[in-house]
Amino acid sequence: MESKKPLGSVHKDDDVVSSAEGQIDVTTAYQRLPETLRDLSDQEIKDLNSKLVRKVDLIVLPTIGILYILNYVDRQNLAAAKLQGIMEDLNMTTEQFATAVSILFMGYLPFQIPSNLIITKVSRPGMYICLAVAIWGCISASTAAVKSYGQLLAVRAILGAAEAVFFPGAIYYLSAWYTKMELGKRIAGLYIAQQVGNAFGGLFAAAVMQLDGARNIAGWQWLFIIEGSATVGVGVICACVMPEFPHNSRILSQTERDLAVWRIESEAGAAEGTDNESALRGFAQALTDPKLLLLIFCNMLSQTQGSIANYFPTLIASLGFSDTISLLLTAPPYILAGMVYYAIMFYSDRKNKVYPLILMCIAISIVMYIIPMTTVNVGARYFSMMILPFASVGPQLLLYKTINLHLARPVSKRAAASALVNAIGGTSNIWASYLYYAGPHFYAAFGTLMGSAVLFAITITTYRWLVLRENKRLDSGDRDEVSKVIKGGVTEEMVQLNWRYEMY
């Protein structure tokens, strides 16, 4: 008789099992099948699961994606405003502009951790996230009223605090809805929305430039007014659409709610909707996990590379194009990045791989950093600009997938881990903003990014060695060895489910 596999399990000799997305095997080692599902046949549960995934995809993903587009448009519009005269109007130096860019992260980073601990305890996470969206929209629109460099710094710092709710909260929120075989492509969808935001932001900024001087309002002021107002309106609408957690979602029937919770818990044990672990205890557990510390450092190095997004219009303008053409030329690299993100995460989900994909992105990015430092050829330099958005930022998708699957329990630890990785890792955006000077070669910037890429490769390889060692201890069956893994964050229930660190 053919043996049955637990939900989401992967044989070592069958790395494509995850391609059957939405397919579950109800005859598993995990025996907590909800009462509402016990009278259904295997095929009925599989059909219900496929219907559930489609429903969540149609409601959750578009809502989160739209909000993330607005998040990045609002965050990156200062880079576009630089080409529209904000530096001249506020009498800013290049160094002061860099401070205005980086000050956002002074508010953004520290507020992520408490926000993600809060979101595990609120019953309406969608409302919580959308309220933050409306608030940051108001703050972004108010940037149009600033009259001095000091006022700009104040508004940017407050904007960062309001935006801190969204990204780590969205990653945690998605991990509560999707299994490990589904999560990768959904995170890719989030990052694709980011790239749409980047691309649309440049195109929209180019269009808004035509309003410069209308009603005696500068083009950069129109940019903040229009984008901020749109964000408020969309945030209010999405608050009415975005569902709660699976266990209390009003868009699902009771049977669908039970299935939504069960399929997540079948991978790493009970917790979703039932975990009473305190937020502070989960935070403490996250801090004492050496795996998390390595992932934080990896993300810090990865976000150092991703800092090019904060200065991308400037990098394109260094090729010698006009301001309008430079803004238009920022769109193609981001569109390409969105497509590559999906391809990377589709492959990652299908093959259950992460580590080789991270190394591939790192290798490509190193070559692309060398090109602008060694040539002034416009074609070669723009080619590197086409590739860098996906090569430098791509590993971040894979890191967030790793965090939510390798640090699954308790849920408070998972939420704290997501916030810690993004918050501490994001500190690189503060100092990296001061690297982008002395164009067209930008030696300081690209040299630092290349060094970060090499160190990233070394660190993620160390992480791989660590989790493979943990898997060997689990495979040994020796109680003393297994207890060492449990001390490292794996629960007893996960051991009983034959859980392993996968993808590396």
The CATH number linked to 155 is 1.20.1250.20
pLDDT at 278 (0 to 100):
59
260 lies in some domain: yes
Q: Are 396 and 303 in contact (CB under 8 A)?
A: yes
Q: Are 386 and 332 in contact (CB under 8 A)?
A: yes
503 lies in some domain: no
Query: What pLDDT digit, counting tens, does each position of 169-194 carry?
Result: 888 888 788 887 787 778 778 777 77
206 lies in some domain: yes
Task: Tell me, letter by letter, the H, E, C secondary structure of 444-494.
Answer: HHHHHHHHHHHHHHHHHHHHHHHHHHHHHHHHHCCHHHHHHHHHCCCCHHH
Residue spans of the chain under pLDDT 50: 1-30, 272-273
Domain total of the chain: 1
pLDDT at 452 (0 to 100):
93
Domain containing 419 equals 40-496
Q: Are 159 and 74 in contact (CB under 8 A)?
A: yes
Q: Report in angstroms the alpha-carbon separations of 7 from 155, 275, 399.
A: 48, 21, 23
13 lies in some domain: no
Q: Are 344 and 188 in contact (CB under 8 A)?
A: yes
292 lies in some domain: yes
CA angle 399/423/492 to nearest 5° reads 55
302 lies in some domain: yes
318 lies in some domain: yes
pLDDT at 330 (0 to 100):
81
pLDDT at 155 (0 to 100):
93
314 lies in some domain: yes
Torsion of CA 428, 433, 437, 439, to 10 degrees: 80
